[in-house]
A and B are shown apart, each in its own frame.
Chain A
Amino acid sequence: MKPDRTIVRAWSKAQSRIGRKQATPSILLGLVGTGLAIGQAWCIAVILAHALAFGLAGGTTGGGVAPGWRPVLLFALLALARALVQVGQETRAASAAAASRRRLRGETLTAIVGLGPALLRRETAGGLTALVVDRIEALDGFFGRWIPAASLAILSPAAVLAVVWFVQPRAALVLLLCGLAVPVSQAVFGIGAAVASRQQFTAMARLQSRFLDRIRGISTIVLAGRADDEAARLGVAADELRRRTMRVLRVAFLSSAALDCAFAIALVVIALLDGRALLAGGATTSWVGALLLPRSLFALILVPEFFAPLRTFALAYQDRMQAAGAAEALDRLAAPEPAALPASAEAVRTVAAHGVTVAFENVSFSWDRTRGPAIEDVSFRIPANETMVLVGPSGCGKSTLIEMLLGFVAPDSGRITINGADLASIVPQALSQMSAWIGQRPLLFAGTIRDNVLFARPDATAEQLEAAIRAASLDGFVATLADGLDTRIGEGGYGLSGGQAQRVAIARAFLRNAPLLLLDEPTAHLDPVTEREIFDSLKRLAIGRTVLLASHSSAAHAFSGRRIDLLQGRMIHAQTAVSA
């Protein structure tokens, strides 16, 4: 559970490298912006110096030739250019961040799809969705602000420093010293903040998630009559969260106070030094003053420009912290390598007309070695077009056997063959084209009923779709809906009952028309009447196919065929044929 800092560091290093490449245009534009700002500072200095010299000399042009319109116009032009560069920099940074998010999301989704259904054994769909949508969305700041800011925090002050050095070396020295103090103080207070936040981290995370958790479970709280108590406790927790957060912020703000301090010192020292120098030189009336004054003003005006990128960098630091949480979650997903495709993929040598024969030969499998095998030494054979019923309590390994046959997981030992070919040698695509699967609760995707049935075969003709819907006895129910097949179901749509949802799944299987049919407790959540009706449809579906049905014992009698009793992953009884 502890945040693994090496993972986070490695991750953000790797991501920064890729992100920086994409952020290059935005960083370059940022540098151009700094250059333009330096130009503007010079314009201001020239105008100001002349005005002061002019004013103090009592209205005569004692300070030299009047600069006239030129610096004013130049300032205006530079301002326009700076505005354009700013827009360019920002939109480039945004699109670089968007590209990074798109890449990361693509990688994550590919990893999820690659890991396949086995992933759902250790992660929840909600958690994975939050990772793919929210966590990656929250990385916007990391790619869009932190990465360019990290580069510009060095490049821009360096550029300002170089120019000031050329014009007013003493001021540059002051800037350099104050600027160097910033990373030092940042490190000191940053470490302090990190220590403070590490101490508070677990407690803060718990308090933060507490609110969300209480809101999710609110009906449980209300129905237990505890709403007032919980509200009071939530208030205490929120206050606790505030105190802990403030404890961290008190240290963290010191680092930005240090930045302010450096800024103020630079300003004061430059002002005092130059003021004294000017005074000593009898500034205002002589040509020395006329030369020195614009330079001193120039250096002074550039002080904020020198510190601005550092301030942006300090602000973007929290974006980097955001990335830490995402890094861990993404790392957890990437850790197990997705199984490589078999090197020599031989196509399965069968056609539906001849049927599919399935055989398990001494198959063993465990999900987690510490918990012992889920399947132990299971052997059986299903001849083409026959039915095998797996019976046993849940957790005995029925679903695991079916998932192995679907290729979701591979056996630890033993082998599974289809028409004599090892399952491991069949390309996943060929395997799934051969089989249709119906589980306990079919997933209905957000979309119309038509979309959901066509999911099994998007290129099916209207006649094939209609035939499948009729065969699954879905037509009667669809006829009662105002929008018929175009009724929206799934998230935010019309809710289907368990029986209706299962009929959609059966229609999918009919449309799929695969020679191997895998049924995993298809009636587990249905009442007896609906269960009977669904079994009638399933029996029609089973004709002419090889069927593996996992079910609890009472429902098993509906199907005629062979039967295997499983208990804790072992076959305890095998029966060659049953007649219903």
Chain B
Amino acid sequence: MSDGSIPSTGPAGLSAVLRILALWRRHAIGLALGIVLSIVAFLAGLFLLAFSGFRLAGTGAGLILASGLLLRGLGAGRVLLRYFERLATHDATFRALADLRVWFFRRVARASSGGLGFRRSGDLLSRLVADVEALDGLYLRIIVPLAGAVIAVPLLFLLAERADLGLACTVATLLVLSAFLLPSLAARIVSRDSRALSGASAGLRIAVLDLVGGLREIRAFNAEGRMLAGVQAREAGLLSLQKRLAARTAIAGAGAFLCQQMAILAVLAALAGLLFGRIQPILGTLVLFALLAAFELVGGLTRAGALAGNVANAAQRVLDSGPDRQPDQEAARRPGQPPAVGTAISLRDVAFRWQADRPLVFEHLSLDIQQGARVAILGPSGSGKSSLAALLLRIAAPQSGRITLGGLDLADLDETALRTRMSWLSQSTHLFADTIRANLLLGRPDATDAELWEALDQAQLGDTVRDLPEQLDSWLGEGGAGLSGGQARRLALARTLLSQAPILILDEPAAGLDAQTEQAFLSTLNQVTGGRTVILITHRLTGVERLDRIWRLAGKTAAAAAA
């Protein structure tokens, strides 16, 4: 991205907003068209208002015919223009937002392969999605009226200047104040408050999550009153912050309103021959009505300014969510590499920690996994089993030592080569709110129905799916709702089996299943993974696993144990 050079330390997230805008270049024409239409619609409205006043005011001046015709034309024109303006601006917004979503998805995906999304809670990601949605208002409520204001201010100045220079200066100053200065002031105030606000709402969310998730504990320990009081205290904090914000926004809005009223007052005074030199009444009337139209356009900007504070913060958070490293570094993985031969995995003298300030998870870790071997990696909780899975999947990189796949350094493999070679199944494997078919096809997009059924049968889920009214096209709710825990795990297994990856990494695949279901699940695994390397990461063995080798993780390294 060429805009990556803009420093992100700019004032109040302005540079973040600019970077988001730079993403919308592709839709520049549509967005510009929306702005042009909105300005034309505004001008038409202005002329409508002005001429209707002009016509009445100018009855004695014999302008009836011309203005009457104008009125009729513009009356219809204004309605039509407004309609098409709305369609154009909304369509442009949705196009730009669609792009933004895809861009954001790619960005999080890239960060994910660097280990970020892997460890991030789904809840945090949902909040980021809300931030993307907060960018809705950027174009419609800020950019479009601002563009209108840029046209309206000089237009009004020129018009008023024909009557009186002093009046023109006064009116233009007030217009600038309410179109640019007050909104930016509101933006600054809100941006400060909105940080406190998002902290308070996160606090409320955590308190509610604790209350809802801890219903058993709360009932068992009689803590209903205490917990409700805790939530209500958080809520009171949030509400008082919101109240303060609402009051400030209202005051800023009233400020903009007073600007408008003072401008009208100035014109009225001039019309009455006070303060300014008495101006020509017909021109004065025209200025008055033009002013009303201009403020109708600009009046919303103060509130939009308050919104801008939120938008800037949201833009900043969205940008912060991405990977730290530049994408070109990723491209530096040489694609010209000879493809890896075989799938033997070897770790040599690996040291690893998640963060510099955290203790080492591994030190001098060495282990080998032969091609086609069935291996269990055992260890108590906290011994680094998940970290090992992350290293093998290249979600995390070791600080020192070497991990090779088929003799090639894992770090040098390109993304596709790596991902097509490994398939991963864990209790956090996500089932998507989609059809069963779409969920399975994630494993192998070109699989035929027969292959899908075969995988389902292998995972012993075929009969369950056959019993569903829509079979493969049955819709799964969010998080795979509609299937029991064991069935959901089997569906994830079917997806894993469907992928033709020669290496299967199974990270506690049966956790949370009861003993019988777990044994059935593991014996299924024994039968259906013929020829592939199976790496089973678990805290205990049930006795039904068929294994070639067992590694035990302990004391930051691994030791071979009997098979």
Contact = CB atoms under 8 A, between A and B. Distances in A.
Contacts of B214: 443, 445
B83 A119 contact: no
Interface in A82-115: 82-84, 86-87, 90-91, 94-95, 98, 101-102, 105-106, 109-110, 112-113
B429 interface: yes
B86 interface: yes
Interface stretch (A17-25, A45-53, A468-476, A570-578): A45-53
A446 B126 contact: no
Interface in B69-98: 71-72, 75-76, 78-80, 82-83, 86-87, 90-91, 94-95, 97-98
Interface string B417-429: 0111011100011
Nearest to A76: B265
Interface in B218-264: 218-224, 226-228, 231-232, 235, 239, 242-243, 246-247, 249-251, 253-254, 257-258, 261-262, 264
Interface string A215-234: 11111111111110111001
Nearest to A498: B381
Interface residues on B, range: 35 or more
A187 B128 CA distance: 37
A86 B424 CA distance: 59
Contact of A44 (B212, B221, B268): B268
Contact of A55 (B87, B246, B282, B430): B282
A274 to B, nearest CB: 6
A235 interface: yes
Contacts of A51: 271-273, 278, 281, 284-285
B52 interface: yes
DSSP class of B's interface residues: helix, strand, loop or mixed?
Answer: helix
B123 to A, nearest CB: 7
A395 B520 CA distance: 15
B68 interface: yes
DSSP class of A's interface residues: helix, strand, loop or mixed?
Answer: helix
Contacts of B2: none
B79 A261 contact: yes
Nearest to B420: A225
A315 B528 CA distance: 59
Interface in A266-280: 267-268, 271-272, 274-275, 278-279
Contact of B272 (A72, A83, A221, A553): A72
Nearest to A528: B540
A265 interface: yes
A133 B274 contact: no
B21 interface: no
A304 interface: yes
A43 interface: yes
A250 B430 CA distance: 37
B79 A260 contact: yes
Contacts of A238: 97-99, 101-102
A261 B212 CA distance: 51
22 contacts: A55-B281, A90-B250, A91-B243, A95-B243, A102-B239, A113-B215, A206-B433, A211-B101, A225-B419, A238-B97, A242-B98, A246-B87, A250-B87, A260-B83, A271-B55, A284-B59, A297-B56, A394-B514, A491-B210, A499-B380, A525-B512, A530-B381
Interface of A: 43-44, 47-48, 50-52, 54-56, 66-69, 71-72, 75-76, 79-80, 82-84, 86-87, 90-91, 94-95, 98, 101-102, 105-106, 109-110, 112-113, 116-117, 119-120, 124-126, 128-129, 132-133, 137, 206, 209-227, 229-231, 234-235, 238-239, 241-242, 245-246, 249-250, 253-254, 256-257, 260-261, 264-265, 267-268, 271-272, 274-275, 278-279, 283-284, 293, 296-297, 300, 304, 393-395, 406-408, 428-429, 432-433, 435-437, 439, 442-443, 445-446, 455-456, 458, 490-492, 497-499, 508, 512, 518, 525-530, 552-553
Given A56-B281, A79-B264, 18 more contacts: A50-B272, A51-B272, A52-B60, A52-B285, A72-B268, A86-B257, A112-B215, A113-B228, A217-B432, A218-B109, A242-B95, A256-B82, A393-B516, A394-B514, A439-B216, A491-B210, A508-B221, A527-B539
